[in-house]
Structure 1
Amino acid sequence: MSTAEEDRTSRRLAWCVAHLLRHAPDHVVTDMIGRLDRPTRKYLCRDEWLSASTVTLLLRHGSEEDRHYIARNPRVVGRPLPGLPGPTRYARRRTPPELLPVLRAELGRHPDDGPLTAAELIGLLRRHGRRGPRVPLDILALPYEADPDLLRAEHARLPLPVGSVEALLMVADLPPDGVHALLATGEQATTGGSWHRPAVRAVRTGRVTHEELVTHVVPARHTLLLGHLPVRRSLRWTLPEQAGMQTAVQRALRPLGDDPRLWAELLRHAPGHPGPLPALVAAVADDALPEPAAADQPGPELIRAVRHLAPTPAEPTGEVERELALASLAVPMDSALEDIRWVRDCLDRGLLTGIDVVRFKLPACWALDEDHWLGDVDHPDRHDRPDAVLTARAEADRLFTAALGEDPQAWWRTARTLPEFAGTLPHLLLRVTEGGSVSGRS
């Protein structure tokens, strides 16, 4: 039986690991999960705000005990539970009786006469997937013969409607390559208001991680837009999901560095590039792209997304007041609430940004946890200062990338050091790597 001190150590390590895993590549996440002992993994699975990709990888590579604890984690909102997503979740769904005559007329037979063939299923999904996933879900509640290869080929020939793709991602028992194929809409991709729904649904139901989404979504402009999705009234990213997608997209954009010429070329070629984002970035970095067609001009949403993702942080103003605000990050207030009130006030007045908090707040584990400097609100987004959260996550991504790269051992040393480290995040990374400062501040 563990002692109270061992239990506290496991809890704190799990809390720190959960924050680190927000910024780590998928292979590092999998490696670090495998290094945790049983008590720490238990507390990690019960952590309040596990990232979507971490939950997906835990369920994909973890044990039955991991799935048990995640299934009972009330904070895992919208994430997959053991056995889900898949047919089990929707086994009780029945096709509405009023839809059956319509399907009978389209099929030329009664749907109850036998399972739908793969060709019949695809035909129905093409006809009924343009108004959201509800009717496709009703169709998929009927018995049907699954043929992932035919589905993949038909989608590559002519992409299925967005609603049908979303429904398939929710309920169909598809292999990973089938899921990845549905995320590729090719040159015939539409730019309507709901094009993003399958990507959001794929992450939220645990089909893919953010990193896998970046790899497989086609065309590249959609990936860039997903990295900074405009506010929508329908299904959208929550703030933690948006931050995770931003991290994955910026990781793919890393070869461009901070060269304005390369970023301008990215924006110029993105509208007409038919492939995934990593291929576009590699071609831009190698200057291996032909001249884009004159008709392929970036729209305002794409311009806004690329500008947000580019490494051009705004410099705050304030001079003496700003220096005092920076100094205050290293001096805890009398209470956590007072500390939160002060940081929020400085953010609102433009004296601090999320970048400053990540660089200068003590200790480093508090800087990585927005609850300790923004508080939280009763909303799936968790925080009501989204710009501060996104800029803080982006700066933390930059620091971790500069110091740790994709070395699992370096990430593990950071996780072991973080719980008891009293300095700032750049100083922590300096200690772990035994190199120079990575803060970038002169």
Structure 2
Amino acid sequence: MATAEEDRACRRLAWCVAHLLRHAPHHVVADLIDRLDGPTRKYLCRDQWLPAAAVTLLLRHGTDADRHYIARNPHVVGRPLPGLPGPARYAARPGPSPELLAETGPGPLTPDELIRLLRRHGRRPRIPLTLLRMPHLLDLHDPEPLLRAHARAPLPAGAVEALLLAGGLPRQACRALLDARTGDTYGRHWYRPAVRAVRMGLLTCDELVAYVAPAARTLLLGHLPATRGLRWTLPEQAEMQSAVHRALRPALGDDPRLWAELGRRAPAFRGTLPELAAALAAGTPAAPGDVRHDPALARAVRHLAPDPAPADPAGAWERELALVSLAVPMDTAAEDVRWVRDCLDRGLLTGADVIRHKVPACWALDEDQWLGDTGHPDRHDRPAAVLAARAEADRLFDAALGDDPRAWWRAARALPDFAGTLPELLARVTDGDSVSKRP
């Protein structure tokens, strides 16, 4: 039986690993989880705020015990949990209206008839879900007719969302339904199928980046404005931003010319974002042609691109004092939070500064330690600071650890008891210079 000290060590390691999983590539996430012993893995699945990708991979490849503990985790909200209803809320709606029955006939609907009706009523998912509950001859476990029709002319967003909610589609079909390179924009709800796929645990953000087309949509998903209705939560937005950066950073680096070219070429490019990044790196993307300027896309590219000449933060000696204060915590956690929030509001600090200079490193990775515990990571009232901190942590981890699972595991083992900053931790793990001094 484990001692109290061993139990505390398992809980602390699970807490630190949960924060590292936010920034790791998929294969590293799976490797880190597999390296955990039984008690630590239990605490990770049962008690921690887990990123969407980690929950999806655990439900997809984990054990029955993992799924059991995830179902008991009060922090796993909006994810597919064993024994809990998913699309049941939609299935409980009333049956088809008399008008819809008059249009469809007695049935059963042939695949062509069903696809035609999904196109006609596909603005929102309610009527398509009703159609999918009616008798029809389309086999969702073998959806080749559906995918061929979608490849010719993409189905509306509401129809795609309904197909995801109905369940039964193979994962390859879910990926194919998010490829809309042969069609026009869906309108203002075009993003709902992508958000729904992540929320239901069908796909991860990295898989969205790999399969969503055209590339402009992926860039918009990386900086999706807050809207009413179904949208990214703040942790999901940060995770999608990280996935987009992982796809673009190896090809574009910090070259401002390539990032500027990304904004010009993306509107006319019909392939996926990794294909666009590879074409830009090779210098062979298609000419932009006559494409209407999209202000939202321009904002998304500016948000994702590295700033070649960041503005000098406000205050000279005040900023130096603020940076030093990150390495010398206040007497109480509440006083520390008030000071950091005040510095953020006055422009003396940014989220990136907190990641680089706050000690210990495990506190810098947890926004609750410097913005205050809100009880839910989506309720932080300074989302720009959170997104900037996550992006800077992504950059530091990528520069120091890359996609080496052993290096990530060394960082996870060292993080719970390390008293220095995150760059100092990464320097110790990699036996190199501090990554804070790297260009």
TM-score band, normalised by shorter chain: over 0.9
User: AA paired with 2:214?
Assistant: P
The TM-score, its normalising length taken from structure 2, stands at 0.95
Mapping for residues 2-401 of structure 1, pairs under 5 Å = 2-82=2-82, 89-90=87-88, 93=91, 96-97=94-95, 99=97, 101-107=98-104, 109-111=105-107, 114=108, 116-130=109-123, 132-144=124-136, 145-146=138-139, 147-254=142-249, 255-293=251-289, 295-312=290-307, 313-377=310-374, 381-401=378-398
Q: Which residue of 2 aligns with 1:423?
A: 420
Q: Is the Cα contact below 8 Å between 1:268 and 1:298 reproduced in 2?
A: no
Amino acid at match of 1:157: R
| Larger CA deviation: 301-310 vs 281-290 | 281-290
Structure 1: segments with no counterpart, 5+ residues: none
AA in 1 matched with 2:209 = V
- Cα distance in 1 between the residues matched to 2:157 and 2:43: 38
Quote the sequence identity (%).
Answer: 67
Gaps in structure 2 of 5+ consecutive residues: none
The count of aligned residue pairs is: 433
1: CA distance, partners of 2:365 / 2:224? 23
On the 8 A contact 1:326/1:360 being kept in 2, the answer is yes
Pair 1:378–1:176, CA change in 2 (3 A)? same
Contact 1:90–1:171 (8 Å) recurs in 2: no
Which residue number corresponds to residue 429 of structure 2?
432
Task: Give SS of 2:155's match.
Answer: coil
Deviation at 1:141, TM superposition (A): 2.2
CA contact (8 A) 1:404 1:411 kept: yes
CA distance in 1, matches of 2:92, 2:131: 9
Deviation at 1:95, TM superposition (A): 6.3
Cα RMSD after superposing both structures: 1.8
Helix, strand or coil for the counterpart of 1:333? coil
Contact 1:85–1:170, Cα closer than 8 Å, also in 2: no
Distance, in Å, in 2 between the alignment partners of 1:423 and 1:24 is 21
CA-CA distance at 1:137 after TM superposition? 1.6
Task: Kindly indicate whether the alpha-carbon contact (under 8 Å) linking 2:14 and 2:48 is maintained by their aligned counterparts in 1.
Answer: no
Which digits, 9 at most, give the CA deviation of each residue in 1:302-354, with x for residues without a partner?
Answer: 11100000111544121100000000001111111111111000000000000
TM-score, with normalisation over the residues of structure 1?
0.94
- CA deviation string 1:193-214 (max 9, x = no partner): 1111111111011010000000
Kept in 1, the 8 Å contact 2:152–2:182? The answer is: no
Offset of residue 119 of structure 1? 2.6
Contact 2:211/2:272 (<8 A) preserved:
yes
The alpha carbon displacement at 1:234 in A equals 2.5
Give the aligned residue type for 1:78: G
Aligned letter for 2:219? L
CA contact (8 A) 1:426 1:439 kept: yes
